[in-house]
Chain A
Amino acid sequence: MGWIGLWRWPLLFAPLLLLTSCTQETLPGASPVETQSIDLRITEPPWEPQAQMSRRMKHLTTYLKASTGLTVKYIPAINYDHSYSMMERGHADLVLVGVYGGYRLLKALPNARPLVVQKPSYRVVMLARRRWMEKLDSGEEPSLASVKGRRVGFGSRFSGSTFLQPMLALQEEGLDPSVMAHCTHEPVQRHLPIQVANGLLDFVFVPSFSDQQDHFVPESLRDELAVAWIGTPRRNDYVVALDRPDDSQRKEQLRLVQEAFLNLDRSSLDGRVVLNARGFPGYELPTPEFPQMTNQRLESLLAMYGGRPICEDS
């Protein structure tokens, strides 16, 4: 009996669970009880508000169901570490990761492999208050060096796109994290621009996945915020799958999922919805450059910091 069979056992007790929970109040947003058999489980680090994560995952699982016939269940993660550990502990078969998560999973799990990688569209963006930009002297251009003596916000400590990638960029510019007056982590990246607008931070690093550099900035804050610096286009996101060498069914499932990701384009409604939700132009097969070479660079960076880099006062 495979794990799918084991997974079905609790379903036998579902009516009993329902009866016992009749006296307990449920929240309006609580998930309904699953009654469908699940083929694969997918998770992602919570880098956005959970409501948006759930909505985006709903689009993706609906698309995967329609294109592969597989039932893929989204399992929300409490934090980045939690999401990675789900695969490590066998609670997730697919993880949508950034460079750090992918590096960590591929290093820790011999059976983990990159299934598909995003087409190059990721760029790290540094946002600042528009008023600050307007006060700069003529000829003075905002740059990464502007973070000196300023309050700077990053994403989660475990985020590649909004922490490690900016740290790499700072390193490339010869800037040590200690030049910043204050740095903080905001795991929910969507909240980073609000922190600047509210005056709590001077700069924040957010990702951009499309040509629109400030697509991460909420519409209501566009007048207040501006892009101070933007990195070169790279890749950041990819899908890591947990393979089972002896399990042909798993191999076939992963092949179908890979094909579905590769077939994602904006010509179909489903594809458009999924890609628009993520901001990607699409996915392609892993290349020698990504994620392998990127992971090597990351390894040297981490080695330089003796582990994960950290903000001094966070």
Chain B
Amino acid sequence: MNNRHRSWSIARRLFGISLLLILLQSVISSVVTTQLRRHFFHEHLEETLSRQIVSSYNVISDRLDQLSVDQAYACCSIDDYRSWLEGLSFENGKAGLIIGAAGLQATRDADRFYGTTELSRYAKDAIASSSGFTVDEADEDVPLAVKAVKLPGGDQTGFYVYMRPVYSMPLVRTLMQIKLVSELVLMLALAVALLVGLRLIFRPVRRIQSDLAGIELNRLESAELSSRDRPREFQPLLQEFNGMVGRLRRSSADQKQFASTISHEFRTPMTVISGFIQSVLNRDEGLRVQSRDALMLANREVLRLNRMLSDLLDLSRADNNQLKVLREPFDCLTSFREAFHLAQAAFPGNTITVNEHEFETPVWAVGDPDRLVQCLKNLIGNSVKYSELNSAIELHFEVQGECVLFSVVDHGQGIPGDQQERIFERFQRAEGVTLRRGDSSSGLGLSIVKMLMEGMGGGVRVESEVGIGSRFILTLQRSLL
């Protein structure tokens, strides 16, 4: 199934095709060169031998020319052949011979280099060829070029055959080998050049890829890709992309505006509703139990809705750079205690312990006291939500060097390792982690905590183990005032 959707690379395909073409070109060039070399070398040799044979052939034909009529009629015996060749001798492996009806007679010293059978074979091969010329390559290093010319007269006079070793063949072969090696080196160099070239050609693609990877959804205003110094081929693509980003940005701005307006507009009626419910619950003692329970439930839901609206409003403000988060020295121990007391009041069923008594003097940190309380409340609320009913919650306050650490520890379900990063993203919840019946989560809480803590110059992280529990740690910069 995966093969059907296997992705492919233009660069690799281009490289492969180019490499194949280079290889093909090399093979064709090599074959053509070899054939041409063979053809022209043979042609050159034939031309050379045709010229070289003339002087010795002339001696023989002159002797034949001077034969008397009676000698011509009595022709020819092996002695005749011998007499025609008389005085002809060659060096360096060259040889001449006459082969005809009377047999084979070679020039003097020919037997030093060749046997009669060999000479006969060379001569017959040359005579049989249409041009009377052959190159015997039985000895690859020193092939033998052979030229045969029919002597005047019929079969009785036979052929004069001249042969010479081609001592330059090793040089030719070496040249061919050099050519082959240079072709291979060239091919390799071309492949490398192609690789480098492709990397250069595809550099703009990688730049665009990198730019695209750097785009954040909440920063669409800087998401447009510059078309400056980009290849002409990419301009239409970039224009389309930037157009799309523009449309997305407008859409996102509209959505944010909508969320901001809705959050803002809903809060007032919600506060009124909550106020009236509180008022009825506080003043009317004659309410039936069922009515009171119903009103209390309604009040809790209104409060929950109000919190969600507050979260949405915070996010909306943050997106519009309107969220105000202080970065000033404050007594964070006080805020920590406040959060603890609020939590005790909000979750009376849970045992919430704190180690704040270890610190007697104020501890100063840089940040926003209200936002720190908001963050701690959020974390404590999450701990309660994702733990067993009435489960114990521990709050820890700690000073580590230049940092102040606030930890919220629960003994709940824990968060899988691969989820621990994404739970701080908007509308994301850890998969496989369940809420108690009746509870709900918007998936905004932890992203707001992260946003606020970073706004204060601090941070948030989690240490968790599935089935054991989680520890959320808030960090602020310590103020040394």
Contacts and interface: CB of A to CB of B under 8 A. Distances in A.
Partners in one complex: yes
Interface of A: 27-31, 46, 49-51, 53-54, 75-82, 85, 156-158, 185-188, 191, 194-195, 197-198, 200, 220
Contacts of B158: 27
B152 A77 contact: yes
Interface in B105-162: 124, 127-128, 132, 149-159
Give the one of B54, B149, B159 with max A CB within 10 A.
B54
A64 to B, nearest CB: 20
30 contacts: A27-B101, A27-B159, A29-B127, A30-B155, A46-B152, A49-B150, A50-B151, A50-B152, A76-B153, A77-B152, A78-B67, A78-B75, A78-B156, A79-B72, A79-B152, A85-B69, A156-B65, A157-B65, A158-B65, A186-B61, A187-B61, A187-B62, A188-B152, A191-B54, A191-B61, A194-B51, A195-B58, A198-B51, A198-B55, A200-B55
Given A85-B72, A187-B61, A187-B64, A76 B55 contact: no
B47 interface: yes
Interface residues of B, number: 36
A164 to B, nearest CB: 15
B58 A186 contact: yes
A31 B155 contact: yes
Give the one of A77, A78, A82, A188 with max B CB within 10 A.
A78
A27 B47 CA distance: 24
Contacts of A187: 61-62, 64-65, 152
Contact of B150 (A50, A81, A200): A50
Interface in B41-91: 47, 50-51, 54-55, 57-58, 61-62, 64-69, 72-73, 75
Give the one of B50, B57, B100, B152 with max A CB within 10 A.
B152
A78 B54 contact: no
A194 B51 CA distance: 6
A195 B50 CA distance: 11
B372 interface: no
Contacts of A197: 51
Question: What is the interface of chain A mostly: helix, strand, loop, or mixed?
Answer: loop
B99 interface: yes
Interface of B: 47, 50-51, 54-55, 57-58, 61-62, 64-69, 72-73, 75, 99-101, 124, 127-128, 132, 149-159
B112 to A, nearest CB: 25
Nearest to A75: B154
Contacts of A78: 64, 67, 72, 75, 151-153, 156-157
Nearest to B75: A78
The 4 closest A-B pairs by CB, nearest first: A46-B152, A78-B153, A50-B150, A28-B128
B150 A82 contact: no
A54 to B, nearest CB: 8
A197 B52 CA distance: 11
Contacts of B47: 220
Give the one of A29, A31, A49, A158 with max B CB within 10 A.
A29
Contacts of B55: 195, 198, 200
A197 B50 CA distance: 12
A53 B352 CA distance: 126
A195 B54 contact: yes
B279 to A, nearest CB: 124
Contacts of A186: 58, 61-62
Nearest to A31: B155
Contacts of A51: 132, 149-150
Nearest to A46: B152
A54 B47 CA distance: 22
A27 B153 contact: no
A275 B312 CA distance: 111
Given A29-B150, A51-B132, A85-B72, A188 B61 contact: yes
B100 A27 contact: yes
Contacts of B127: 27-29
B57 A191 contact: yes
Give the one of B50, B66, B67 with max A CB within 10 A.
B66
Nearest to A28: B128
Given A187-B152, A188-B61, A81 B72 contact: yes
Given A79-B65, A81-B68, A197-B51, A28 B124 contact: yes
A220 B51 CA distance: 11
Contacts of A54: 150
Contacts of A28: 124, 127-128
A197 B48 CA distance: 12
Contacts of B58: 186, 188, 191, 195
A220 B64 CA distance: 28
A54 B149 CA distance: 13
B108 to A, nearest CB: 22
Contacts of B154: 31, 75-76
A24 to B, nearest CB: 9
A156 B149 CA distance: 18
A79 B67 contact: yes
A80 B72 CA distance: 10
Contact of A82 (B50, B57, B69): B69
A79 B155 contact: no
A213 B93 CA distance: 40
Contacts of A82: 67, 69, 72-73, 153
A278 B55 CA distance: 25
Contacts of B156: 78
A258 B51 CA distance: 39
B153 A46 contact: yes
Nearest to A27: B127
B104 to A, nearest CB: 10
A195 B57 CA distance: 11
A200 B124 CA distance: 30
Contact of A79 (B50, B66, B99): B66
Contacts of A77: 72, 152-153
A75 B124 CA distance: 23
